[in-house]
Chains A and B, each alone.
Chain A
């Protein structure tokens, strides 16, 4: 009898694991490198613009359209060859590129560059850029900037007019009601659009590497990325990730979640519950409960997909034939059900694969997941 119960439990666990594994999105990965036209293999960021894919690399901005790469570099007017961040103005179709030498706008092939010398931009190292309405928000090495594209007016935000005690801003996520900044070493800054006031969120453990008070605040001060969607803030740091719903924090660490690493370069949410984590040990997807990891295996470098439970204790290995170009993931963007991934060794296109018993589970924002 006991054996029967044990077998039943095992069967249930196996069935649950299988179900979980089958729920997780699977991809066939196609990788781009300099061998097939990518400007440089170190890809800092990727942006989907309809059928066009923009890749910000260490040596140029590339755009893939109809299977052909077009490359922009400083000789074409780009602010700098190292393109750290990208944003799309959905209304105009203009692309904004944050670089190591200023901010560039690519508009129907014309590039206009804004620097700290020729414009009101706060600093030429533009780690992050985001567009909301008429405003272009930038995260720079010397504070935040906001450009009103209608008036040309710049607002600078720094230690003198915000609670930004560290001015090394690293990423920005502008929403309709709030704008969030990841401040490297300074936690998270929140700008309230209606009141035009700033507020900061810090790690309650201070600037230590210890996690004394998990889920009582931001996981760490060294923040690298923010993603604000559906009134939920997701934060990536070099020491874990956080989710904040305006009242409660929930933190993710490798020790108690399916995260493959606490070191993250980007976090990008799909909706209030789901997000993608760009870590140095693979690309991770969190569906609100369970985790999936996509990477070349860290030891054999063979394609690998792992599905983990919420605490990261149970792991299922999925047989796959392809993987992202490298396990050091720097950023992602979504194209319908597909995903594009910037890695330290190439750009990867995850082409969504569906099994016979799997229904659609879209990646794009604003559409609910449909589980089996």
Chain B
């Protein structure tokens, strides 16, 4: 059965790669010419992302995003003893307190796979919100909490009935959950910032759930933060640390060399520190990009943070950290000299380290190296990797793998400051608008765009300045963004191959049978209309389908749709593709429209962005319902 699934996946992948690679070959015409696609090995990498332990600590469950399975690892022998197929793109795992069940989020199926640990099989599938990611059970193991990244909420599932009893409102991009040691609270973080007015400092929140009442009781504000990942609490519950990014997106990207792009940092909260405080992880001349997973030793002596873009684990002496926090009276998240006071080691590990886990006794530390298909076993006393557990992934490295590694590393940027995946978190967006050009403050502001299925949507950049992906990823990125070493020709080709391989995520707004709802049908008619309400013909160039044409709803040209700002160098805007447009808020080239409605209710007064001012409110709603299905 699994072989059939794998064969199918291979066929699907091949179907995707053939046209992509053909396009790459065409546009690059390049040196060195990549191998013909047919010659590319069709490896299926494991991409281990998260880990969990059985209550007795004998077994480790490893979530493999790449092969849609959970590996059961016998820690004594360091051997994989079972492969448990789960849903598509599994993201996280929680083990029931009694150890009999493991729950895995299937982010592309919007489900949970319930694994019977005894027989290593999925015995039940539970429904969730859109793109379930983080997952925890409450302390008695009666209720499951699931962070839904796309629906921005938290599913509360009664494990006795298997039914979702309620959804709790989270922030945008709800992703990771942590149960407080006393079982009273669940904390939720978000990979995207809280939606806010245009061009104000980003902000995120930690959503706090009271497990007794099963309601959100607090939202801890994280100012100047966007891109928040795992969090971990000390065993005494007095300290919780949150891995996060501090993007500097309001200022021009002109001071890369002075740390003015991203700050890699933690927020600390709890009785040990009082009010939440942010601390830097970077150094004055070296950055530790994309802090992602956190583990705190049972005795609270050390804290370990995986930095996914820097192939390392940062080791923090907790007592030194607390001394620094208590000694400093002013915010110091931007004072990169501070990290020397509490960071005691940087442990090199594999590529794209993500999940991090301490054994129950705190004597072994495990790190999942996502793009190496292995696990680093670290001695947390000596801060050294003592062995590497091979999970059995392919031994060859193909172009896609090489490109993926390039995408997720910060090695190419000056001082390792950031990489592609800083802004394109998990190869999506960051929900931010950036001042990328060195043309002065507040000029040519651009919204981040999705990377899904980009072939055939050229040119790139909102002003259409880059005719193809090698130009986009090459000179522009490596020279201007990274201010550092260039990609080799082969590296650039690999990176482009990977970017072009990124597929569409499932569209949750379409009916399962492929039909449109009545509202979506009405919206489609509006999208395709050629006459306005008064019967006058709409000029062809102002009909929706003129610009948004073709399979990806872009004619790949530049147009002035009246949305240019005085601060833009040109009012001509690249026509974006509309696939999965519902997932890419905010909208317009500069992200000034916070919702799809605002594209037309606020930013289309002259009917230059399609004729819409004759629409009644319910008709505009219908149009938007249709657009969400694309």
Chain A residues within CB distance 8 Å of chain B: 91-94, 105, 107-110, 112, 116-120, 122-123, 134, 142, 149-151, 153-156, 158, 160-161
Contacts and interface: CB of A to CB of B under 8 A. Distances in A.
Interface string B145-188: 00000010100000000000111110000000000000000000
Given A94-B169, A118-B598, A122-B618, A150 B151 contact: yes
A287 B218 CA distance: 40
B216 interface: yes
Contacts of B602: 117-118
Given A120-B621, A150-B151, A92 B597 contact: no
Contacts of A149: 167, 169
A42 to B, nearest CB: 29
CB-based closest 6 A-B pairs: A93-B215, A156-B618, A117-B601, A108-B216, A91-B166, A120-B621
Nearest to A107: B169
Nearest to B213: A93
Given A92-B166, A92-B168, A108-B216, A116 B208 contact: no
Given A108-B219, A151-B509, 14 more contacts: A93-B217, A108-B217, A109-B219, A110-B219, A116-B601, A117-B602, A118-B595, A118-B598, A118-B602, A119-B595, A119-B597, A120-B621, A156-B621, A160-B618
A123 B165 CA distance: 31
A171 B582 CA distance: 32
29 contacts: A91-B165, A92-B169, A92-B215, A93-B215, A93-B216, A105-B169, A107-B169, A107-B216, A107-B219, A109-B219, A110-B219, A117-B597, A117-B598, A117-B602, A118-B601, A119-B597, A120-B597, A120-B621, A120-B624, A122-B618, A123-B617, A150-B129, A150-B167, A154-B621, A156-B617, A156-B618, A158-B618, A160-B618, A161-B618
A297 to B, nearest CB: 43
Nearest to B600: A117
A116 B601 CA distance: 8
Contacts of A91: 165-166
Nearest to A50: B213
B228 to A, nearest CB: 16
Interface in B560-618: 594-595, 597-598, 601-602, 617-618
Given A92-B166, A92-B168, A109-B219, A142 B617 contact: yes
Contacts of A154: 621
Contacts, number: 71
Interface of B: 129, 151, 153, 165-169, 194, 205, 207-208, 213, 215-219, 509, 519, 594-595, 597-598, 601-602, 617-618, 621, 624-625
Main secondary structure of the interface of B (DSSP, over half): mixed
B521 to A, nearest CB: 14
A92 B509 CA distance: 24
A94 B219 CA distance: 13
B216 A92 contact: yes
A116 B168 CA distance: 24
A47 to B, nearest CB: 16
A208 B109 CA distance: 58
A156 B522 CA distance: 14
Contacts of A155: 519
B606 to A, nearest CB: 17
A292 to B, nearest CB: 35
